[in-house]
Structures are given as C-alpha cells and as structure tokens.
Structure 1
Amino acid sequence: MNPYLDIIIRSTAVYLFMVIALRVFGKKELSQLNTADVILILLISNSVQNAMVGSNTTLWGGLAAATVLFIINFILKKVLFKYKKLNDFMFQKPQILIHNGNLDFNILSELSITSDELKEAMREHGVEHFSDVKLAMLEVDGNISIISGEKNLRQTHYKRKRAHKNLNRIN
C-alpha cells in the first residue's frame, strides 16, 4: 500500500474517532480547560500520533497527516451545515436554565450545574437574585448566558467551569 494513502486512512480514522469521543464525553466540559484537561489533550495527541503516521516519521508524513486533518475538518463542517439532522446529533442545543426567574431543576440536574456555579455566573454579571434573571442559558460552547430582567436588558457570558465529582445540590 502507498505509505501516503496509509497515512490518509489512519488520520481519517483517528479524526472520526476523536469527533465521536468528544460528542460522547461532552465537549461542553472543554469550554474552559483546567490542568487535567490540558494534560489529557497532550496525552491523547501523543497516543494517536503513531496511529496516524505509523512508522513514517518523515516531515512529509507529518505534513500529509496534518493536511488530511484540515481537509476532513473542512469537509465535516460543510456536511454538518448541509445536513441538519447530523448537525443536531453532533452539536447539542442551548439549554434554558432560568426563565423569568424560574429555575429548571431537571435541566440543571441533568447538566450537573450546581447552585453555586449558577450564582457565581449571576454575580459575575451583577445579578443578585434568581428572580432578577429574565433568561439564563447554557450555550453549546459551555458558556452561561444571562439576560437580566432590567429594562436595559444586557446580555453577558460566563465561562462554565468543569463540574467536580462532589456536586452541590441545586437549592
């Protein structure tokens, strides 16, 4: 087999695996990387390098693998734009956390968002009480968007921190 065709097939397989793995394990958690996340990314990249290029450690082999990754990423974005059902599967929808001061406890529990985390997002944007929030949403990129109930509605964003094992319960 042609060594560059081998790199193309291997790189494609690794790319598709990583896209599926991020979908399964939740890319929302990657919106704000902590030390453990950075280490995980570095270890994953190191572990899949040989799977992509095999024994070919030449400059051309590395460039071929990188080119394939860029091309696949470009094609995937075009396909996701064209096919809504596939896009909906790959990317989660924004979730409403608070609407007109009413918390959606089911969604908060499902997303493992603690009351402390939600209160921190509100304080970050000068909102003191849940009743002052017209709309709070967890965006697809992991941000919590808050629109206050003030007359001069302003939208602000809070970068969600990674959830911890010992979660506080929503009050």
Structure 2
Amino acid sequence: MEIVYRAAVMFLFLWLVTRIVGRSTLGELSSFQLILFIVMGDMVQQAVTQQDSSLTGGLLAVSVFAVLTLALSWADSRWPRARAVTTGVAVVVVERGEPQMDVLRAERMSIDDLMAAARQQGFERFSDIRLAVLEANGELSFFKRQESGDGTPVTGSDGSPNQPSVG
C-alpha cells in the first residue's frame, strides 16, 4: 500500500512541477531538457517503488498515475474553473501587432522564441499579426491582420505604426 501513497505524492509533485515550469511542447524541448526529463523519470520510478522491481509494484505505481490522470481529466470536464488550475488558460502574447512583453515575461517566453514561431507561420513583421495566442498546451496560434485594398495592413483604432521586422 505504501507504493500507492508514494505514487500519488509523486504524481501531484510532477503535476505541480510541470505547471510551474511552463508550456513547452515536446518538439520545442532542448536536448538538455529532454535528457533532464528522461533522468527525472528514472528518479521518479526509484522514489515511487523504492527499488521494488516486482510486477505488483510496477502495476500499482502505473495504475495510480493512470487513475489520477483520469481524475484530473474528469475534473476538467466537470468544472471549468478546475481546468484553469489543472491545465492552464490561453493567453494573448501579441495584440494588434504589439508583443505583450509583460505576458511574455510571465510565461517565461523570449521575444526571440516568439519571432521564430511567427517566421515559421509566414509572418515577416509583428505588424502583420492581429493576434497571437499562447495556448494552454504550449502551441502558438497566429491570426493575420486584414489588408486594405492596396495591400497594406489595416491599422487598429489607435493607428499604430508598422512594427520592426520579425527577423
């Protein structure tokens, strides 16, 4: 029964760590981060099973992680407020061509990472972006500004000038 308690505590700890660390998808991890997560997995296994290599110990540990994952998913679907805590909410990182520096700092995202993601989506300048959203899963969604008849971006109500190039 001790394995069940250890697995539950480790699950909650890992959930908390992933919420604190931020929103990176696996494709965006650096080599060091990937190695760190692999090593962390081995340390978690040792902490949960206390070197118990029995089939029962492994089944119990994995079962606790699975049940707690299902419980979080159920809570997310049942209570919208729980979803904001367990998985996070989408945040706007570019609005009307202006990077939201305070949001970027809060999300620990560099302007260079934002520029690279914008270039990958075909944006040359921030002024071409009407809205960019950092989704709860770590992906960035970009929405293009509408263009006027002469091909120039339509300015917002504040008439803000063109922004510097993304690259």
What TM-score do you get using the length of structure 2 for normalisation?
0.76
Aligned partner of 1:51 among 33, 47, 56: 47
The reply on whether 1:133 has 2:129 as its aligned counterpart is yes
Judge which range, 108-117 or 49-58, deviates more. Answer: 108-117
Distance in 1 between the 2:89 and 2:42 partners? 32
Matching residue of 1:29: 24
Deviations 1:105-124 (A, max 9, x none): 32233334333322222221
- Checking the alignment, whether the CA contact within 8 Å between 2:72 and 2:86 is kept in structure 1 is no
Matched to 2:132, the amino acid is A
Q: Which runs of 4+ in 1 moved over 4 A?
A: none
Please say if 1:39 is aligned against 2:45: no
User: How many residues matched?
Assistant: 147
8 Å Cα contact 2:133/2:142 also seen in 1? yes
1:142 corresponds to 2:138: yes
The 8 Å contact of residues 131 and 144 in structure 2, kept in 1 or not, is answered as: yes
The normalised TM-score by structure 1 is 0.74
| Distance across 1 between alignment mates of 2:96 and 2:52 | 59
Structure 1: runs of 5 or more not aligned:
152-171
Q: Match for 2:60 among 59, 64, 74?
A: 64
Unpaired stretches in structure 2, ≥5 consecutive residues: 148-167
SS of residue paired to 1:146: strand
Q: For residues 90 and 7 of structure 2, what CA distance do their matches in structure 1 show?
A: 31
2:105 and 2:10 mapped to 1: Cα distance?
Answer: 33
Report the equivalent of 1:166.
none
Structure 2 residue aligned with 1:98 = 94
In the alignment, structure 1 residue 16 sits paired with structure 2 residue 41: no
User: 2:69 matched to 1:73?
Assistant: yes
Structure 1 residue 15: Cα displacement: 0.8
Tell me the SS of whatever aligns to 2:136: coil
What RMSD, in angstroms, separates the aligned Cα atoms of the two structures?
2.2
